[in-house]
Amino acid sequence: MFSSTKRLDQAYKNAKIIDFDDSCKFILFSDCHRGDNSFADDFANNRNIYFHALKHYLKEGFAYCELGDGDELWENLSFESIFNAHKNIYLLLKVFHVNNKLHMIWGNHDMVYRDDEYVKKHLSTYFDHQTGEEVPLFKDLKYHEGLVLKHKTSGQELFLTHGHQADSWNFLFWKWSRFLVRILWKPLNIMGISDPTSPAKNYKELIKIERRTKKWIINNNNLFTIVGHTHRPRFPNPGEIAYFNDGCCVHPRSITGLEIENGAISLIKWLIATKEDGTLQIVRVLLEGPRKLIDYKTN
Ligand SMILES: [Mn+2]
């Protein structure tokens, strides 16, 4: 219990601060688990939905914040295979980055990004097979354990992190988990048997992680906190414990995220819907909000 408190303290203390005001827009996604497009790639089912949503947010002037587990680096050994499977998506994320609107947080499945040298080595360029040259990708990108969005006038802080700090097994023994996923759960996953150490698939564990995180939030004066990791979207009302969760991008047929716009927050979902004439279209559905951020402010 004490250690998850310490780890959350640490993530908050080391968070990168981003100043914002009511004219700023942010889209928060996490737990994309982008893979290699094989049968074990849970993201592959939603890639078109996610790509369309990103294009929408880019056009509308949003900044992109990813709250961990963006790349599935347990099942996959290298970023290169993931990049080649979802190149259109990375080239779109590159546009956010070039516009200074890409803010990345590492989770347990991409904890290797804690190491700046690793990020530099694998993410700063990619190999273009047509020209035979290295092309810039995420030049000078830095991954963080946490971000704090700090409102310029109200001083209100929104703390963003992956949330596995409250999950000791996945924080401390991630290398073990990664090993088990690679040799055991990836092949079993294809046959429909899931990894029991994943909080997304273990309800009792999920509840414990939420409880520890909420306790930390209460001890920190109900700090506005947004996490992912458990894959379960959460959207409290003002006056309740300020525990937000953006869900994930590997729901069976949809992705969920949190939008911050006009000083308010909303929980949204993108999915494929069938039109009257039988054609399919990707639509955005508002699930919760918009709720004014200021209504959650504590002193
Ligand atoms: Mn996670």
Tell me the CA–centroid distance for residue 108 and ligand 1, in Å.
5
Tell me the CA–centroid distance for residue 164 and ligand 1, in Å.
6
- Whole-angstrom CA distances from 251 to 42, 83, 189, 207, 231 are 9, 21, 15, 18, 8
Backbone angles phi, psi at 149, to 5 degrees: -85, 115
The pTM of this model reads: 0.94
State the Cα–Cα distance between residues 196 and 189, nearest whole angstrom: 11
Number of domains in the chain: 1
Tell me the CA–centroid distance for residue 58 and ligand 1, in Å.
25
Tell me the CA–centroid distance for residue 130 and ligand 1, in Å.
35
Q: What is the CATH number of the domain that holds 89?
A: 3.60.21
Tell me the CA–centroid distance for residue 73 and ligand 1, in Å.
11
Q: Which domain holds residue 255?
A: 4-296
Strand ranges (E), the chain = 16-20, 26-29, 63-67, 102-105, 125-128, 133-136, 143-144, 146-151, 157-161, 224-227, 243-245, 254-261, 264-274, 280-292
Tell me the CA–centroid distance for residue 238 and ligand 1, in Å.
26
Tens of pLDDT along the chain (299 residues) come to 459 999 999 999 999 999 999 999 999 999 999 999 988 888 999 999 999 999 999 999 999 999 999 999 988 888 999 999 999 999 999 999 999 999 999 999 999 999 999 999 999 999 998 999 999 999 999 999 999 999 999 999 999 999 999 988 888 888 888 888 887 777 777 676 667 677 877 888 899 999 999 999 999 999 999 999 999 999 999 999 999 999 999 999 999 999 999 999 999 999 999 999 999 999 999 999 999 999 999 97
* Ligand 1 (single-atom ion) residues, CB below 5 Å: 69, 107-108, 164, 229
